[in-house]
Amino acid sequence: MGRYVIIFLVAILITIVLGFVMPELTIFIFGPGEYLIPILLSLFACFIITQLFYIIGLLKKMN
């Protein structure tokens, strides 16, 4: 289970790093203050990616 926590935390870390870089590039397109939805979507994507790794691990264990 610790492996999946690490995968989730690494994905969150990447999201945070991109969260600092991407607003600088997209501030002219979206305007300031419209970052809540992308942050929530990226957290949801991190959760889904972690769950996929867990399911793949379960399928490997079954075979």
State both tokens at 57: 């691990």
Where residue 6 falls (left for φ over 0; alpha for ψ -120 to 50; beta otherwise) is alpha
| Average pLDDT of the segment spanning 5-11 | 87
6's tokens: 């690490």
Taking the whole predicted model, whether its pTM rises above 0.75 is answered as no
pLDDT band at 59 (very low <50, low <70, confident <90, very high): very high
Q: Considering the chain, what is the average pLDDT of its residues? A: 80
> Which residue's structure tokens are 């996929």?
52
CA separation for the pair 24, 21 (Å, rounded): 6
